[in-house]
Structure 1
Amino acid sequence: MDNTKNKSFQEKYDLFRELDPDVLQKKFLNALLKIQNVRRGSIWIKRGRTYVCVEAAGIDSENIVGVTLDAGAPSIVGWVIENGKMTIAQAGSDRRHNREVEAHFAIKSSQILCFPLLVNGQVFGAVQIIDTNPDSIHLNLESSYLTHLQNLVEICSIALGNALSYAREQKKNRRLSSALSRIEKEKTIIGQSKAFHKSMELVKSYSDTDFNVLITGESGTGKELVAERLHRNSARVNYPFLAQNCSAIPETLLESELFGYKKGAFTGAARDRAGLFEAADGGTVFLDEIGDMPMGTQAGLLRVLQKNEIKPLGSSRVQYINVRIIAATNKDLVKMIRENQFRQDLYYRLSILPVHLPPLRERKEDIPLLARHFLNKESKKAKISEKKISPETIHHLVAYTWPGNIRELENLIRYLMVTAQDEVIRPDDLPEHILKTSQDETSKNTNPIHSDPQTNETQNLRDISAMTWPDLEKAYVRALMEKFNWNITWAAKASGINRSTFASRMRKLDIHRGTGPPS
């Protein structure tokens, strides 16, 4: 007897430890059926104005799991959930019984015992114990026995309620984790230069419209990233963003990729296939390297822009679509139009909203920012400690011309993360071609033989544009003080402001004889 009690206690203890609601529901229901010596039962959960069967046992159980009952329709589980009371019902005569659920069952219910499931006094569902024997009743309905059974159900319903709450929290955490993961993977557009901000202001204003956009810029300047941002910030964000590179792809293959094809349209077309425009219906299509699109395909694209229709290869019928087109190129389309290599009418349709992305050599003040961003991103991805870049290394990176633009810088950072031995990346870690190019640039700018007033002026302007306003002011004040041998009165007079204001600015900028130039 003691062993039986211990076994029963252990089974109840195991129920409380179980946090998977699916496993707990099954164990809970089977335990009740075993106690009452019947073979059918079900567990229902209240969801809004409906009751959903989340677990069932016995013959035809697979046909009841997932069934949803409307709160307005008659049902025994609905009555128990709304009234919060246990009930006993004769399936054949009780008006509360929903017979439609068992309409196709080979074996019908004869008597139903139903208990509410409660947590903190709130009913969240019901459990049914069902006798299917039409001749004799197997359910034990003695008052004292039902009281004990009610206590067991209440205890188990707490465990089930906790498991369901735990599962909901786990699901929330997974969604949050997934969202954070997407944010981490999302490619960021970074920059602080004037040219960069000018382009991004245009991109921001274009996002609120539905007009086509033409992005121009050298390879590696981030044209696809800008296209993705335009889509994410548009009203089409909940629809697909699909990209197609038009470069180095045969005309027939490109047409089938864009417009789709019908079965038998060409050798190997064994079935109908939707093209990119059809698949992206409602969303955005990004056509990269549009300058490489064959003239024949350009005609089909023009039809999409003019009439919002496509004609799959091998089809005699057109299909209407709704897409926004963002195109990009590193070529001079105007020159290509003059050379009859690009359709003028297509160009005007595509370039309603143009935006040009400047090359990295024209965004030198962004290079340190981008380098540190890529180091941080790649370190997190590789789960290693982030390396630092020495000021001397930054100097070489800024002096380099970056023919491959941002993509080249990103790949260099990945290379340095692997090859640099120390925690600080130094000039010696840089590839030889970068060192040589940056040294040549520095030599050209400092060698008097190659000195040219116009070149020097341009370089000085670039150097100034790379400085912050406080640094610029500090450099100006120091230059005046050194010019006038640290005589504040003369320096203030030369600056055009009074002596007290000049002296106040010196104190605020922490400038005094013996301090070095601004870093």
Structure 2
Amino acid sequence: MAPPIPEFPKALFEELDTDKLRRRFLEALLEFQNVERGSLWVKREDGYQCIEATGGPSEERLVGFVVPKDKPSIVGWVIENGKMTIAEPGKDKRHFKEAESGLDVKSTLILCYPLSLKNGEVYGAVEIIDTAHGGSRLNLGKDYLELLEEFIAIGSLALGNALAFADQKNETQKLRKILGGLTGETPLVGKSQAFKAALETARNYARNDFAVCITGESGTGKELFAREIHRLSDRKDKPFLVQNVSAIPDALLESELFGYKKGAFTGAERDKVGLFEAADGGTVFLDEIGDMPLTLQARILRVLQEHEIKPLGGAKTQTVDVRVISATNRDLSRAIAEGTFREDLFYRVNVLPLHLPSLRERPEDIPELLDYFLSRDAARLGIAPRKLSAEALAALRRRPFPGNVREMENLVRYLLATVPDTVIEAGDIPPANEIGIVRAAPAAALQSAPDAGPDLAAYTWEALERAYAMALLDKFKWNVTKAARAAGVNRSTFDSRLRKLGISKE
């Protein structure tokens, strides 16, 4: 049964949260038509993007999907023509079947209406989808459809205003994040529940001075979260100093942390202030604390217990006021069992535990992270912003990223450095773990030792790349388009590499 006429528009205009508004709008329309599946789409530069979908977990994965502008689609036709349509997916050539890839149940009849602003501009479309045999559940009576059209006209105004406000807000936040990244502030990007929960915990921890231990896989942003805790704490105007425990020899680590007095050892020609003393009043971040040698762990324990340090060669202890935040990707419980980490130190550093989710636990954050890195690093390089095509974004959303956010950041930098076009295509993206690696050895190398395989180490990087390019050009009789396709890159990228290598048909 359809919802009462007066309540439907009123409910929309009372909802201020954009996410809840579009969900409520879509669910009300589906209830009105007595079907379970539907989706909301908005017009973007490169196509038409799904911003809301309902009908079950598999349907909700459609959110974020982009139908390319140059491909036939029902939503594209409705948005560009500004007219309602009724379509049978199996017979209608406008149906973009890739949008339903992976869905357990396919659509049998689609009712699609344009979404318009007050000035008549069409900004999107709503699909009301029947999955029953023959599309038998949708009510296509003239009076019923006219009433539905009135509801959609009212709802599209509320949704359009909310989306415009949200876009403006997002652009402002994005600019702040980009500027923050350029000026050294902490850029933390993400909207997933896992990310927001970790960020909320970090912000709660900022209200006190207890030791924090951040765990998580490599590349999940442990230092960024440590900086955020410091930035929001009462110590924000004091130093935030970092020491990667595994990045310095054990013999030097103690002097780096505690300092030394002149004459403490050969070469100690003057007093040196250690990290703890230099950070007095602020925060010390000890990264990879699980790799700290046992001999030094006792001294760190004293800092946490007594707030005292004694430089190497010094006779007196001195008091320091520092907060210690540590991080590790190791299992400290196992390290304790193996005798490589002190149990008493573990309880001191792990007063406030914070575990960061891996990127595969927050896949919905991938588009926003990519957009942030592309914008920030393009600004740093002083080049025009780059955008991902729908196919490229889809490929990156499927990418495993075992190195998490750090791996994604490095991949974006690689793409900015190697793709001259403003739009990054799927073919520009190298296979996982193969950034910068030539994908095929020169023919001569392959033939030289068929049993042992090519001796790639005998070639310079440039020689390998030149031989690879020449082999492709010879194979395709200098058809650059076909050679680029075989290499897995777009033609402009291939052309650019040929120019840098000095290769031309002449």
TM-score by length of 1: 0.48
| Structure of higher CA gyration radius | 1
TM-score by length of 2: 0.49
